[in-house]
Amino acid sequence: MPTLDASDLNIVVSVLGAFTVIYGLVAVKIKGVWYIGEALPAVLIGMILGPIAAKLLDPKRWGSAVADQQDAITLGVMRVMIGIQLVIAGYQLPARYLLLHYKPLIVCLVPIMALMWLATSVCVLATIPKVSLLATLVIGACVTSTDPILSQAVAKGPFADKYVARPLREIISAEAGANDGFASPFLMLAVNLLRLTENRRETIVDGTQNLVERGRGIGEDTSDVGIALGNWVIETLLYIVLLAIAYGAVTGYCARVGVRFSLSRRWIDTESYLLFPTALGLFIVGTCGAIGTSDLLACFVAGCALNWDGQFLAETERRHDEVNSCIDVLLNFGGFMYLGTAIPWQEFHQPDTTGITFPRLFALGVLVILFRRIPAMLITYKMMPAVVKNWREAVFMGYFGPIGVGAVYYLQHTRLLFPKEHAASSRERELLDAICPVVYFLVLFSILVHGLSIPILSAIYRYREVQPITEDAVEIRRRSIYVPTPVNAFTGDGDTFIVYNRFFRPLVNIATLPLVRPRSHNDNDSVSTESGGKKQRQLLDIHRVDTT
């Protein structure tokens, strides 16, 4: 006899499927006309259907429904979601990108990230009253890195296709992929310093008061600071960062050699070839988690190594790759919808413990948007002249440094580094009470602000008649008469589109591609600022992408 089974599994897959279907029916309008990505609608649906409202989706009820299981679920979802997309982001960069642009990447990963870390920590210290300085450094480290998934939407989305030229888009994508792993040194340095007194307890032996080590911490003696820094160098810089880079490079190289061998013998079919980055990401996430090194950094490096000679990306173009973009969309839908259900609304107001209130969190969000990244970019952009040409581009790159699932990943990772509340010291409890609402609110604030900034900026550009970038014309084949015209493109003959300013490098030397308008002083800008009336343009030549 039929029975009604409203289990959590049935509800979750039904909601995810319904949202994907409805979103897909109007996806061209949402992404190509309104410039709204997948993250904002998915988070809003998660909030509406989550524990705070409809109570249809509640991670605390899933599985065995044991205490504290949501932390493990959240960390696992974030690891898989980010790891796979970092492999995809890595191989979609141009060949040898990390080698050819190592100088701007070093600037982004060292001075800019250090300034972002300090600026964010100061913002937290200024708005959250009952949290120590070292605790704010830990919280600031969690939200220092730019989110790799939201940044890919900025670098590769329809708005960027029209108005942001390739050099700036590539450095945004590369920085977002790399700095998620490079946030570990800042986080672990703050954690080691926080253990200055918190990881010791007082004991009395023969009438003498002593500090006894409760874990791997440091004491009040200045020599203990050296011990903490030594642990930081060995465990974080060497084991977590350098080992992850080496592991990702070796894994990506072996994968590239294996793919090349199979291609030469016609052993690998199209489905397996296009699923290769996803499989590689899952393998790296699992193995890096087992050995305890940075899976995020290893995934990105492996993706870059996979396409080191440019052939992997070229072959995916020949095979009409839509698989990886579909995986991106599904991961974004599921991951951000889950994020909407996991937001701890009840912790956003705790004036008696940490002093956190909604006005303070809102003020913190505004301060972080303004001061976390933009000043650092304005200070350092002249050190990256090849990718950031002027202050307008620096402001653009500084503003669009969103906080997202990477911050939630580091939040959950940080909570594993400290004892449970019953065994934590008073300052550790202050940190554990404050870090969750602060990080989640900044993630929510960033998704809302950055998700709505692109539509607003697009409306401003239309009002000011800013012209789209019309360089690097590429002809791509139209696979169906029902395929809509891409953004910043026009229909060629009946079977082709002429596309400008694609993120993916054409399969020829870019220097040989023509401009489709006379060169002006604005050609040095990556963010299109040219406005005015219509200009006569002459299409000199078009590179045809071989898709046969």
Mean pLDDT score of the chain: 85
DSSP string, 93-152: SPTTHHHHTHHHHHHIIIIIHHHHHHHHHHHHHHH-TTS-HHHHHHHHHHTTSPPHHHHH
Q: How confident is the model at residue 80 (pLDDT cuts 50, 70, 90)?
A: very high
pLDDT tens for residues 458-488?
999 999 999 999 888 888 888 888 888 888 8
Average pLDDT (56-70) is 81
Q: For residue 170, is pLDDT > 60?
A: yes
Alpha-carbon gap, residue 365 to 299, rounded angstroms:
30
Q: For residue 334, is pLDDT > 90?
A: yes
Average pLDDT (314-326) is 87
DSSP 20: H
Intra-chain end-to-end CA distance of the chain, in Å: 54
pLDDT for res 3: 77
Q: How confident is the model at residue 390 (pLDDT cuts 50, 70, 90)?
A: very high
DSSP string, 284-323: HHHHHHHHTS-HHHHHHHHHHHHTTTSHHHHHHHHTT--H
| Beta carbons within 10 angstroms of residue 266's beta carbon | 7
Question: Under 8 Å CB-to-CB from 410, ≥6 apart: which residues?
Answer: 141, 142, 143, 145, 183, 187, 439
Q: Which of 415, 409, 408 is CA-nearest to residue 439?
A: 408
pLDDT for res 524: 41
Q: How confident is the model at residue 70 (pLDDT cuts 50, 70, 90)?
A: confident
Assign 3-state DSSP to the chain and report helix, strand, coil percentages, each to 5. Answer: 60, 5, 30
Q: For residue 545, is pLDDT > 50?
A: no
pLDDT for res 353: 87
- Nearest 5 degrees, angle CA 478-CA 479-CA 481? 75
Identify the helix (H) or strand (E) that includes residue 210.
Answer: strand 208-213
Burial (Cβ within 10 Å: 0-12, 13-18, ≥19) of residue 100: exposed
| Beta carbons within 10 angstroms of residue 18's beta carbon | 11
Q: 462, 529 in Cβ contact below 8 A?
A: no
pLDDT for res 288: 96
Question: Under 8 Å CB-to-CB from 22, ≥6 apart: which residues?
Answer: none
223: which 2 tokens?
């020599």
The verdict on pTM exceeding 0.75 is yes
Alpha-carbon gap, residue 439 to 143, rounded angstroms:
7
Average pLDDT (513-517) is 40
- Percentage of residues in the chain having pLDDT higher than 70: 86
Alpha-carbon gap, residue 337 to 334, rounded angstroms:
5
409: which 2 tokens?
């990943």
447: which 2 tokens?
């998704």
Q: For residue 535, is pLDDT > 80?
A: no
Q: 91, 163 in Cβ contact below 8 A?
A: no
pLDDT for res 202: 46
Identify the helix (H) or strand (E) that includes residue 497.
Answer: strand 496-499
Average pLDDT (21-42) is 92
pLDDT tens for residues 178-192?
998 899 999 999 998
Q: How confident is the model at residue 154 (pLDDT cuts 50, 70, 90)?
A: confident
pLDDT tens for residues 354-373?
899 999 999 999 999 999 99
pLDDT for res 548: 39
DSSP-derived pairing of the beta strands 543-544 and 474-477: parallel
Residue 497 pairs with which residues in a beta bridge?
A: 476, 491
Average pLDDT (420-428) is 77
The number of helix segments (H) and strand segments (E) in the chain equals 24, 6
pLDDT tens for residues 241-269?
999 999 999 999 999 999 999 999 999 99
Alpha-carbon gap, residue 404 to 447, rounded angstroms:
7
Helix (H, G, I), strand (E, B), or coil: what is residue 476?
strand
Burial (Cβ within 10 Å: 0-12, 13-18, ≥19) of residue 235: middle
Q: How confident is the model at residue 103 (pLDDT cuts 50, 70, 90)?
A: very high
Q: Which of 250, 258, 138 is CA-nearest to residue 187?
A: 138
